[in-house]
Amino acid sequence: MKYCTIVLLLSFFATSFHLTQSATLQISQFGGKPNGDIAKALTSAWAQACASTSASKIVIPAGTYQMTHVFLKGPCKAPIELSVDATIKAPVKPEDVGGDEMLRIDYADALTISGKGVFDGQGSYAWKQNDCSKKFSCKLLGMNFAFNFVTNSIVRGITSKDSKHFHVNVLGCKNFTFDGFKVTAPENSANTDGIHIGRSTGVNVLNTDIGTGDDCVSLGDGSKQVLVQNVKCGPGHGISIGSLGKYKEEEPVDGITIKSCSIKGTQNGVRIKTWPSQPGTITVTNMRFEDITMDNVSNPVIIDQEYCPWNQCTKQYPSKIKISKVIIKNIKGTSATKEGIILACSSGVPCEGVEISNVDLKFNGAPAIAVCSNVKPKITGKVPPCTAPSNKKQ
- Name which of 356, 208, 235 is nearest 288 in CA terms: 356
Given a contact cutoff of 8 angstroms between Cβ atoms, the answer to whether 234 and 216 are in contact is yes
Distance in Å from the first CA to the final CA of the chain: 98
Asked if 330 contacts 291 with a C-beta cutoff of 8 angstroms, the reply is yes
Q: 41 near 31, Cβ under 8 Å?
A: yes
Cβ partners under 8 Å of residue 42, min gap 6? 27, 30, 32, 58, 60, 67, 70, 72
- SS3 for 29? helix
Residues 6+ apart with CB under 8 A from 117: 60, 84, 85, 86, 87, 88, 158, 159
Of 195, 109, 201, 200, the C-alpha closest to 159 is 195
Q: Please state, in angstroms and rounded to a whole number, the distance separating the CA atoms of residues 394 and 248.
A: 35
Q: Do the beta carbons of residue 65 and residue 45 sit within 8 Å?
A: no
| 200 close to 222: Cβ distance less than 8 angstroms | yes
Contacts of 137 (CB under 8 A, 6+ apart): none
Out of 165, 167, 196, 237, pick the active-site residue.
237
CA distances from 334 to 29, 264, 356, 364, 369 (A): 53, 9, 17, 8, 12
Q: Has 237 been annotated as catalytic?
A: yes
Pairwise CA distance, residues 187 & 26, whole Å = 36
What gap in Å lies between CA 234 and CA 213, rounded to an integer?
9
**DSSP category for residue 96:** G
Active site (catalytic) residues: 237
